[in-house]
Chain A
Amino acid sequence: MKTLYTPEMAVIKKVIPQTPLETFFELELTERKTLGHKPGQFVEVSIFGLGEAPISVSSAPEPDKPTFELCVRKVGNVTNALLEKKVGDKIGIRGPFGNGFDIAKFKGKDILFIAGGIGLVPLRSLILAVLNRRPDYGRINVLYGCKTPRDLLFKGELKSWECGGSVECLITVDLGDESWQGDVGVITTLIPRVEIDEKKTQAVIVGPPVMYRFVIRELKSRRLPDANIWMSLERKMKCGVGKCGHCQMNDIYVCQDGPVFNYAELKKIPESI
């Protein structure tokens, strides 16, 4: 009997270490053509014998592409074991889960992506989807903050987006090293440097829980309306199907009704940020 909790098998096609902590995986489902996800959705990755962990999908939805991508930080039992896996190994996958970003809402708008640390992983899915249809959007800025230069993800890609001239990226680290020539400071220090059109700009924020309030305050000081602020929240998504209760904030199941929220709605949820 196949149930809500039965994973499908997926083969690992590529493994690319990104940082000392994070590794990039390309996966292909064995029984389905594509994952069929939206940007901002997540999957439950299953290591048999250990359990499951919720991981954001990092690739853009492309109907003809059989593979999808994850970028995983080793932080618990499941992710530690996942990072031991090699090309050709199989793992379990359930999903995609969650609402994801409604990309249609960004059409014709300027988009300000704000990523903190591993928050770039889910955001990359949306950034790539937007870049796939670049003419549909206005100005695109990416603000990205990390602890140290060693923690920067998708370094090559950030450069290629910028070099293409289609995106402006600003990167900052909390703590530089001898070779770091760029900005040092928290992510909010980058916000005054971007142009914000309160009618046109849509800000999309993904980062650690502590980041949201500070970033939103900064955006509000630039008069950006609540409805133009989007974010994806982290919670303990255990079942992914709105049953197990772990991801709940007030009466909202983040795994079903989130993880993507608009700030105008989020303001009504006291346990959200």
Chain B
Amino acid sequence: MKQFIIKKPKLFELIDKLARETTVIAPVKQENFTSFAPITSAAEIVWGAPQTVIPPKQFLYPQSEDLLAYEFGNGEARITGLNAVKERVLFGVHPCDLNAIGQMDRIWAEKNPDANYLEKRKAITLVGVDCLAPCSSDAICLRLNGLDPKGRFDLFLTDIGSAFYAEAATKKGEALVEGLRAPAKAADGKRLTAVQKKRTALFDKQEKKLLPKYKDLSKLMKANIDHPVWEERGKLCYGCGSCNMVCPTCYCFDVQDYMHVSLVKGVRSRVWDGCMTEEFAKVASGENFREDRSHRLRHRTYRKLNYLYDKWGESFCTGCGRCVKACLTKIVSPLEIANEIYSRKI
């Protein structure tokens, strides 16, 4: 990891230049919410709060993404090419989302590498920006090991007052700020540490407490498959799947064919799907393999805190708080569920 100091005006100039020359995606204000979108200048960027409704995973794994295109001729289908992937800069990503992207990198690359994701991932320069205060009262990132980005970026910026303290984890990150960076000095490092210490204290004060130890979460889940919390919270679930849609580490998808109105061509797309919806595990014969809402809530929570935790050694909830906000009946918070299980032993 290389450390630099970048003067703020210099960085803004760079973003302006990049926005002109290539595609820069950053959090911007849209009506009364924030979302990741292409920008034309640095002035459009929303720094810190509020968190975007949809996580930046949408640029690596879009809500709807063509897997293949085909044309019909002489009564048979012929598979045609898809558009090439373009280079983009994904700027202003919070540590929780950097962790989530790092986790998705592992998921899509394991066993059967998914080129659709990996090609897009390769073409992204990932620039994170540290959070100096919780983005909302729903954030639980400090508790779920999501506030430390753990090197899951090309470049990571921390606002230390007059300048940004920049860490480059890759050559791509270094190259991005070539020419406007100065090596970080010991004094800069001290300022960074002071900023981080103050920041962490603020998060610790404001975020809801996690009662069990983080490292015990998976064991706690596994031991409580029949805990009444699943039924109590599950029966309130509308099965809307909002928690799935806003989650940076939910990656389940449905595959659908769309015919062009001309009926001579079509595409096969994958679209985000959610394990909390009733249809998710239902097969054509009508059999539903996860019909009960409480089982669906348990499945979602287990994926984050048990199955993937055990497989990869970390919580797959990075504490962004989006599901907590999106949930209509306020049942889905992994932290609250863990706390309830912990405090009500069965």
Contacts and interface: CB of A to CB of B under 8 A. Distances in A.
A239 B289 contact: no
A164 interface: no
B285 interface: yes
B287 A234 contact: yes
Contact of B283 (A9, A52, A236): A236
Does more than half of chain B's interface fall in helix, strand or loop, or is it mixed? mixed
A250 B282 CA distance: 16
Contacts of A244: 252-255, 270, 273
Interface stretch (A43-51, A179-187, A196-204, A212-220): A43-51
A242 B112 contact: yes
B225 A6 contact: no
A243 B114 contact: yes
B253 A245 contact: yes
B259 interface: yes
Count class of interface residues, chain B? 35 or more
A221 interface: no
B77 to A, nearest CB: 4
A50 B255 CA distance: 10
B289 A236 contact: yes
Contacts of A270: 225
Contacts of A256: 111
Interface residues of A, number: 39
A3 B108 CA distance: 13
Contact of B115 (A4, A49, A92, A238): A4
Interface stretch (B41-49, B68-76, B176-184, B233-241): B68-76
B214 interface: no
Contact of A3 (B77, B115, B282, B295): B115
Given A48-B266, A75-B284, A92-B77, A3 B273 contact: no
B186 to A, nearest CB: 46
B306 interface: yes
A1 interface: yes
Q: Which of A48, A90, A251 has the most CB of B within 10 A?
A: A48
Given A48-B266, A242-B112, A246-B281, A1 B81 contact: yes
A31 to B, nearest CB: 12
Contacts of B266: 48-49
A232 interface: no
Interface of A: 1, 3-7, 9, 48-53, 75-76, 79, 89-90, 92, 208-209, 234-236, 238-239, 241-246, 248-251, 256, 270-271
Please name the 4 residue pairs, one residue from A and one from B, whose CB atoms are nearest each other, closest first. Answer: A245-B252, A76-B284, A251-B307, A48-B77
17 contacts: A1-B115, A3-B67, A5-B268, A49-B266, A51-B255, A52-B255, A208-B285, A235-B281, A236-B282, A236-B283, A239-B255, A242-B111, A243-B253, A245-B251, A246-B280, A270-B225, A271-B289
